[in-house]
Structure 1
Amino acid sequence: MALDDDMREALDMFITEARDLVQGLEEGLLELEDQPGGGETVNAVFRAAHTLKGSSGLFGLQHLVEFTHVVETVLGSVRDGVLDVTPGLVSALLPCTDHISAMIEGLAGGRLEPDAAQAADGARLLAGLEPYLADGSAMTAGPVVAAPDAPPPEMAWRLVLHFGEDCLRNGMDPLSFLRYLSTLGTVTGVVTVTDRLPEAADMDPESCYLSFEVDLVTAAPKTEIEAVFDFVREDSDIRITPAESQFDTYVRAIRAMPENDRIGDVLITSGAVTELEMAEALRIQQERVVREGNQPVPIGEILIEQGIVPRAIVDAALTRQRRTTETRSQDTRTIRIDAARLDKLIDLVGELVIAQSSTGIPNSAGPDTSSEAQGEVMRLVDEVRHSALSLRMVPIGTTLRRFERVVRDVCMELGKEVSLVITGGDAEMDKALVERISDPLLHLVRNSLDHGIEPAGERRKHGKAQQGTLRLNAYHDAGNIVIEVADDGRGLDRERILAKAIERELVAPGTTLTDSEVYNLIFEPGFSTAETVSNLSGRGVGMDVVKRNVTALRGSIEVETARGIGTTIRIRLPLTLAIIDGFLVGVGPSSFIVPLDRVTECVELPPGPLGRDCMNLRGEVLPFIRLRQIFGVPGQPARRQNVVIVEQSGQRTGLVVDSLLGELQTVIKPLGILFSRVKCISGSTILGNGEIALILDVGPLIAGHSDREQTRQAVPVG
């Protein structure tokens, strides 16, 4: 079905509204599960499904109409009092909202009809709703068990098994692994590879030279096949890849997946790659960056190089990733605006035009009146700027409420009881920030549920309530927005974290670290203290991504924990990425801007510093950084230099500059791709005289200086 321009524009409006309706439908179902008697909530979710169905019909989206009609019918039975709300009913309906959302995102991507995989998924979900559609026979007040899912389809796999030479010495029999594979499915072919066999005279009877290529057809997931070889994995080369006959199946599954802009998540969700394989690929990528110092090799190339997944499947995942990125970049161009805010902006522009015209009319009253008119223009310009920026501000509560579903699903998987408490949902921040902070928050929430909050039995043993509490809180603080993820769980184990860091050679034995430095080790790549690996965490993948993403948003992250009481992770972000309040400083002919929320005070550099890079500040030793040296600014320093004292994560540091030029509100201009690897600069701006000033990124600047100082002190003298 082809759409003309007018129809396409109308469909775009429908997609925007449909996303809101699906979100309201999901939130309403979660609320109903907590409060089954909520009559208004029942009416709201029914109206959402009804509106979705009706609007879909206007565009001839029959697949969406038919699926939503069944959901609406079930909700109608709930509204009429024929069907009670039970955990089973909510568990059957929530995946339906995911499916509707996937169909809507398919429309956004230009797919007006579902593909085979999506249609099969829809049929499976509708089968789960059948018990609730019977003529009252299944609509009892007690718990209703949904129809079981259809058995997973059988898949063909190619296993390349190079057993290590010490396999026999370690008591392992390679043939027993092949025999066990036949219990998982059907072994359709085995080829013995003898290219490692030495000459008879050189053969060691205790060494294993066997290799096999095995074709296996099984319904077991890749993780289960992988687990067969856990005992020989360390000294053997085990590669499990989809058979060529299955390439099309994986490609179709990837194309039908919901949006995801991370290729790793796409490959893991499709089943082509396990989390263990992805963690190993990430480790190899990180080692290469440290060893070679180059840009990271794309993770897809490493997976192909290691023989973990074929190129055809990686290419399909890359295509899915690019399409998602393009769709999201288009979505960020559209934002819903409160009409009152838009009216205020229009009024201000009108006043500005009147004030501007008055400055150009000669006035017999003299220059004072002209100066007053110019002052009025400047005031209105400032108000227009603030009003325009406020159009981008949205409440963060919508994002935080999405985690109700995450908490419910994770708790069901882990068998834990956790209540989610959300406060501060009215706090506003830039829409671009809201979208980009969702993934880091997801990692933190899942980590708190899996590692932080204990199982019910352990909580009772320590005198705690059986039900744990996870709190999401947002509030404004000194020109920033702070988002807290707090749990009342077991807290972080300082000694265990430190021991693990020493074991991984992140910290030298005997090093004295503050509590803050120890707890920040959890954000190191690949770091994990989990004793067991679960579907949620334990592989050391995630927390480093959280810190990297928060830092990229000019934010900081802090950890506050108490053993046995709980942990609070606090993310501090600027309210907007478009404009900041800055403090302008001069270093020779160059100008720099320090974010004003990081500045605590300014003092004159004393003539006799305590040492090379520190000074006495009212009895306190204050380290400082000479911006002239860091950025290689030519010329001699000023006779009287100043120190701008900044604070980052509780650490105070001075920035030595030639001159203090005052506060100003700065419109941030992003740096070009040529400067993408510059770590101490977050952007630039154009000053009133037309010159360019660089905006300092205080966090990396201080961290980089500390690393250089430690390296300098570690070098032996003489």
Structure 2
Amino acid sequence: MSFDIDQVTHTFIAESRELLEQMEGALLAVAQDGPEAVNAIFRAAHTIKGSAGMFGLDPVVAFTHVAESVLDKVRDGAIPIGDDLVALLLACRDHIGALVDAVEGGTLDGNAALADAGAPLVAALQGYLGSTAAPPADAAAADAAPADAAAADAQSAGGAGHWHISLRFGRDVLRNGMDPLSFIRYLGQLGTITGVATLADDLPDADSFDPESCYLGFEIGFVSSADKATIDAVFDFVRDDCAIRILPPESRVAEYLAWLDEAPAQRERLGQMLVRCGSITAHELEQALAAQQAAGAQAAPIGAILVDQRTVHAPVVEAALAKQRQAPEARPQQENRSVRVDADKLDRLINLVGELIIAGAGANLVARRTQIPELLECTSTLSGLVEEVRDSALQLRMVKIGATFNRFQRVVHDVARELGKDIRLDVSGEDAELDKTVVEKIGDPLTHLVRNAMDHGIEPADVRAARGKPAQGSVTLNAYHDSGSIVIEVSDDGGGLKRDRILAKAVERGLVEPGRQLSDKEIFNLIFEPGFSTAEQVTNLSGRGVGMDVVKRNIVALRGSVDVASTEGVGTTVTVRLPLTLAIINGFQVGVGKSVFVIPMEMVEECVEFHEQPGRDWVDLRGQPLPFVRLRERFGIAGAPARRRSVVVVRYGGRKAGLVVDTLLGEFQTVIKPLGKVFAGARFLSGSSILGNGDVALILDMAALLAGVESESQAAAA
């Protein structure tokens, strides 16, 4: 079966990016993980270089070879790895990423800008090597180099054995852009090729010969300490266009038998057991199962097929069968299966579910109006099913925030070096889930907050020592769920905000009237005003008053809120509160006159009857003062209020308040629609929704509505 070279190139690009992420994570953790992290970095670079060599991507091979040579000396202990080398290797990782991007864009060959960007990095790497590690002239030289570090490791390892590899390439392998010899040369990086026999028995006569077809096969003798899966992975890019048989050395048979003897007895299929012990690969098992299925009722057992195919030695199969018989009977467990779905298709599904909810609400309204029992029963069943579909669809879009948090390890490392400070990042709550759309949009605001904490919050080492703090500062990212929202905290153990300086700056700029009494929270939130800064000097990171206002604007655009708490000399915590989803919510509908408003159901605690008391903007709720907001006055709705009104008690971010409304309409599924451009600047509203009768309901922005409630609550308590 042939395949498209573009598809294989796409696989190379995707896998290279995954390896680069692993490389970055290992570089940032090298101080803690030591040799294990160094090995992970080396493996990532080595795999990228080998894969690039198969595709003839010489610039990628040449650059990565130099970095790999440095890493090889680090593994041997010849070069100590410190902060400077880690920073250099991170820059090399970024450059390899740029080369991979150029491969994707088709701009790799002859790219002078990339060559100029890589030259100083190569010079810096060679400074660690002296003049002994010039990059190879081309990809073939890199692949064939017998002194390659991996080959040397394989030859010197005590566990090396003689493998036998049988290759039969398909007719169209050359047409698909693959060079069979490149895969054989790449084997030299895993060990030593002791002999190659070329099989030409499929060559046709001269009249039938096609110069673009491959007729050759190879029998290869190979000495290596690599395992079977590693050797098999060499042929990943050509697997669909060749037949591969890998027969392990006799020494490995003893290892497989020892593994099977020591493994706990458990009920599993023979093929799975052989894959786990390493005697066969998953691809070999798939081929054997396909052969068994094709044979139908007369098919031999899978073990016999594997032995006949020279995939595994017979004693290994016999030992696996014996271990299988020892295992107790157990109920088979269903395998976890997953499938990748394009994000646009997922968004389309959510939009359709939203339209389904609106249509269902319309049908429910008609059923209540007509009072036909059968129709009421059908719409009730439909509403329940729609709610289940909604919850399942929304769950598909929920992702863990841990991936976003992990991005900041690199940010903290780079910014700390730029500032000359020793700062670590602590992360908790990585398993908290929220809508993928929120995750995508929260990255930039969090980056601003983390960089600001490092620049303004964490003091220099001498100041921290004078204050009795450890020399290493810390920035903490924490996430957790609360009242239908996700809360993200960005904390630092730095010097904290200077309350008096912020207030003086605000008075100087006319943001606060002189003599006005403000709470600490109100003063700290002044840092989100446009252009506000108390920095004594402007740096590359901050000090121009641009950033924190953008942070607040972006968070508010996500229907969220942001607050600051700080203690001078101890540290600062910025709390970001965001909705779990931007698509569909459970909403509590209330009426004021002819207008309908929606409150997120997770915030509603209870509803009580409202008794008007002139001149007082709070009610007594079981002995506690509860400030409230009259929605009719807040939105300027004309008409007289209803004779009997209610107070909806809501809680948001630790604050409790009441909303005075005319009528309570109950809980409904609410499809969130964005406000049009005309209403984009409207206060106290975060979106809209379409009701079953076609009318529009407005979704309340609770953060804005309750902004002044805290001070009112303190005055009421007094």
- By the TM > 0.5 criterion, same fold? yes
Q: Which of 29, 32, 51 is 1:31 aligned to?
A: 29
Query: Match for residue 478 of structure 1?
Result: 483
> In structure 2, what residue type is equivalent to 1:694?
L
Query: Match for residue 700 of structure 1?
Result: 704
Distance in 1, Cα, partners of 2:20 & 2:665:
51
Output the TM-score relative to the length of structure 2: 0.60
Displacement of 1:607: 3.3
**Does the alignment pair 1:681 with 2:685?**
yes
Query: Match for residue 231 of structure 1?
Result: none
Distance in 2, Cα, partners of 1:114 & 1:694:
57
Displacement of 1:115: 4.3
Query: Match for residue 446 of structure 2?
Result: 441
Q: Deviations over 1:184-234 (max 9, x none)?
A: xxxxxxxxxxxxxxxxxxxxxxxxxxxxxxxxxxxxxxxxxxxxxxxxxxx
The answer to whether the 8 Å contact 1:82/1:136 transfers is: no
> In structure 2, what residue type is equivalent to 1:424?
G
Displacement of 1:675: 3.1
The answer to whether the 8 Å contact 1:583/1:593 transfers is: yes
**Does the alignment pair 1:20 with 2:18?**
yes
Measured at CA, do residues 116 and 691 of structure 1 come closer, stay the same or move farther in structure 2, by a change above 3 Å? same
Query: Match for residue 216 of structure 2?
Result: none
The answer to whether the 8 Å contact 1:681/1:694 transfers is: yes
Displacement of 1:112: 5.1
**Does the alignment pair 1:541 with 2:537?**
no
Query: Match for residue 402 of structure 2?
Result: 397
> In structure 1, what residue type is equivalent to 2:585?
I
Q: Deviations over 1:168-197 (max 9, x none)?
A: xxxxxxxxxxxxxxxxxxxxxxxxxxxxxx
Query: Match for residue 669 of structure 1?
Result: 673
Displacement of 1:106: 5.0
Displacement of 1:631: 3.9
Distance in 2, Cα, partners of 1:13 & 1:684:
43
**Does the alignment pair 1:382 with 2:391?**
no
Query: Match for residue 504 of structure 1?
Result: 509
Higher relative contact order (CA 8 A, sep 6+): 2
> In structure 2, what residue type is equivalent to 1:561?
S
> In structure 2, what residue type is equivalent to 1:481?
I
Displacement of 1:516: 0.6
Q: Deviations over 1:67-117 (max 9, x none)?
A: 334333433443455544232321211112222333445566675557433
- Give the SS at the match of 1:534: coil
Q: Deviations over 1:511-554 (max 9, x none)?
A: 00011101111111111122222222222221111111111111
The answer to whether the 8 Å contact 2:126/2:133 transfers is: no
Distance in 2, Cα, partners of 1:549 & 1:461:
38
Structure 1 gaps, min length 5: 139-337, 350-366, 708-718
- Give the SS at the match of 2:488: strand
Higher mean C-alpha deviation, range 497-506 or range 615-624: 615-624
Distance in 1, Cα, partners of 2:113 & 2:73:
29
The answer to whether the 8 Å contact 2:421/2:460 transfers is: yes
Query: Match for residue 117 of structure 2?
Result: 121
- Give the SS at the match of 1:531: coil
Query: Match for residue 97 of structure 2?
Result: 101
The answer to whether the 8 Å contact 1:342/1:391 transfers is: no
- Give the SS at the match of 1:594: strand
The answer to whether the 8 Å contact 2:657/2:709 transfers is: no
The answer to whether the 8 Å contact 1:581/1:666 transfers is: yes
- Give the SS at the match of 1:559: strand
> In structure 1, what residue type is equivalent to 2:446?
L
- Give the SS at the match of 1:539: coil
Q: Which of 598, 604, 613 is 2:603 aligned to?
A: 598
Query: Match for residue 556 of structure 1?
Result: 561
**Does the alignment pair 1:646 with 2:644?**
no
Distance in 2, Cα, partners of 1:32 & 1:422:
17
Distance in 1, Cα, partners of 2:592 & 2:107:
56
Number of residues of Structure 1 aligned to a counterpart in Structure 2: 483
Distance in 2, Cα, partners of 1:683 & 1:60:
53
Distance in 2, Cα, partners of 1:17 & 1:534:
38
- Give the SS at the match of 1:96: helix
The answer to whether the 8 Å contact 1:528/1:540 transfers is: yes
Distance in 1, Cα, partners of 2:541 & 2:704:
30
The answer to whether the 8 Å contact 1:36/1:85 transfers is: no
Q: Which of 46, 52, 57 is 1:50 aligned to?
A: 46
> In structure 2, what residue type is equivalent to 1:465?
P
Query: Match for residue 254 of structure 1?
Result: none
The answer to whether the 8 Å contact 2:16/2:48 transfers is: yes
Query: Match for residue 195 of structure 2?
Result: none
Q: Which has the larger radius of gyration?
A: 2
> In structure 2, what residue type is equivalent to 1:661?
L
Measured at CA, do residues 481 and 20 of structure 1 come closer, stay the same or move farther in structure 2, by a change above 3 Å? farther
Structure 2 gaps, min length 5: 135-335, 350-371, 712-718
Q: Deviations over 1:611-664 (max 9, x none)?
A: 4x5555456655443333444545543221222233455554432222112223
Distance in 1, Cα, partners of 2:511 & 2:40:
53
Query: Match for residue 324 of structure 1?
Result: none
Measured at CA, do residues 462 and 425 of structure 1 come closer, stay the same or move farther in structure 2, by a change above 3 Å? same
The answer to whether the 8 Å contact 1:560/1:568 transfers is: yes
> In structure 1, what residue type is equivalent to 2:17?
R
Q: Which of 657, 672, 685 is 2:661 aligned to?
A: 657
Distance in 2, Cα, partners of 1:107 & 1:73:
23
Measured at CA, do residues 14 and 505 of structure 1 come closer, stay the same or move farther in structure 2, by a change above 3 Å? farther
The answer to whether the 8 Å contact 1:558/1:649 transfers is: no
Distance in 2, Cα, partners of 1:11 & 1:690:
50
- Give the SS at the match of 2:27: helix
Query: Match for residue 225 of structure 2?
Result: none
Question: Identity, % of aligned pairs?
Answer: 56
Query: Match for residue 319 of structure 2?
Result: none
Distance in 2, Cα, partners of 1:526 & 1:700:
21
- Give the SS at the match of 2:29: helix
The answer to whether the 8 Å contact 1:610/1:616 transfers is: no
> In structure 1, what residue type is equivalent to 2:649?
I
Query: Match for residue 523 of structure 1?
Result: 528
Query: Match for residue 153 of structure 1?
Result: none
Displacement of 1:703: 4.6
Measured at CA, do residues 433 and 110 of structure 1 come closer, stay the same or move farther in structure 2, by a change above 3 Å? farther
> In structure 1, what residue type is equivalent to 2:458?
I
> In structure 1, what residue type is equivalent to 2:584?
I
Displacement of 1:119: 2.6
Distance in 2, Cα, partners of 1:108 & 1:590:
53
Q: Which of 484, 493, 497 is 1:492 aligned to?
A: 497
Query: Match for residue 577 of structure 2?
Result: 572
The answer to whether the 8 Å contact 2:60/2:96 transfers is: yes
Displacement of 1:58: 6.1
The answer to whether the 8 Å contact 1:556/1:649 transfers is: no
Measured at CA, do residues 25 and 373 of structure 1 come closer, stay the same or move farther in structure 2, by a change above 3 Å? farther
